[in-house]
Amino acid sequence: MEQRYQKVSASKVTISELMLPSHQNFSGKIHGGYILMLMDQIAFAAASKYSGSYCVTASVDTVDFLNPIEVGELVTLKASVNYVGNSSMIVGIRVTSENIQTGVEKHCNSSYFTMVAKDANGNNVTVPALELSSHTDVRRFYNALKRISLKNERSRHEETFNHRSPEAIDGLKGYRVKLEL
């Protein structure tokens, strides 16, 4: 069977939403959980649009809240598929907010969601291969490869690290912990 390819542009999605008082947390800023929900929605939209399949969230890689979002600001989320495996896709998401009175924009966070394409029975389905058509596409693909490599290395370390060894216990000196084993 011949390999199908899709351009990154086939996955691009943008959503904007005005932040309302009902979205705020106890400190008066927009609740991070609400932003995460919007990010999950746009990751689903980008992955489903790209793959033509229902998609589920497999993992979320590093969400750093860089700047708070205020009530009354317009939040814009942009997403696109940066990498594909067999049934998985890494969707890059950028979140910005704009003060609609002053026009001042700020970058609030970026994150990467791994999404998996499923059929009606919940089985993984193969997604189209990715056609990279710009240097930005190539950069994002290589960055995804680097994140995958770092995640695999971290998993290998967790599997092999002996936290009970004298070296590991001794390595805790200098941290703000009290050992009572």
- How far, in Å, CA of 61 to CA of 158, rounded? 17
In 36-171, beta strands by DSSP E: 54-61, 74-84, 88-98, 105-118, 129-131
In the chain, beta strands by DSSP E: 5-7, 13-18, 54-61, 74-84, 88-98, 105-118, 129-131
Domain that holds residue 10: 5-133
Predicted pLDDT at 99:
98
Region 95-112: mean pLDDT is: 97
- How far, in Å, CA of 69 to CA of 75, rounded? 8
Region 19-27: mean pLDDT is: 97
Tell me which of 8 and 154 has the higher pLDDT: 8
CA pseudo-torsion sign 157, 163, 167, 172: positive
Structure confidence by residue, pLDDT tens digits, 50-94: 999 999 999 999 899 999 999 999 999 999 999 999 999 999 999
Please, are residues 77 and 38 in contact by the beta-carbon 8 Å criterion?
yes
Predicted pLDDT at 1:
67
Does residue 72 sit within a domain?
Answer: yes
11 CB-contact burial (10 Å; exposed 0-12 / middle 13-18 / buried 19+): buried
Predicted pLDDT at 13:
98
Check whether 3 has a pLDDT greater than 70: yes
Structure confidence by residue, pLDDT tens digits, 27-51: 999 999 999 999 999 999 999 999 9
Of the candidate ranges 13-27, 134-148, 167-181, the one whose mean pLDDT is the lowest: 167-181
Does residue 24 sit within a domain?
Answer: yes
Tokens 């600001």 correspond to: 73
What type of residue sits at position 125? V
Number of domains the chain is built from: 1
Predicted pLDDT at 58:
97
Structure confidence by residue, pLDDT tens digits, 118-153: 999 999 999 999 999 999 999 999 999 999 999 999
Predicted pLDDT at 180:
87
- How far, in Å, CA of 56 to CA of 115, rounded? 5
Does residue 17 sit within a domain?
Answer: yes
Residues contacting residue 118 through CB under 8 Å, at least 6 positions apart: 53, 54, 55, 56, 87, 124, 125
- How far, in Å, CA of 53 to CA of 23, rounded? 30
Task: Tell me the pTM.
Answer: 0.89
Predicted pLDDT at 160:
83
Tell me which of 164 and 41 has the higher pLDDT: 41
CATH code assigned at 43? 3.10.129.10
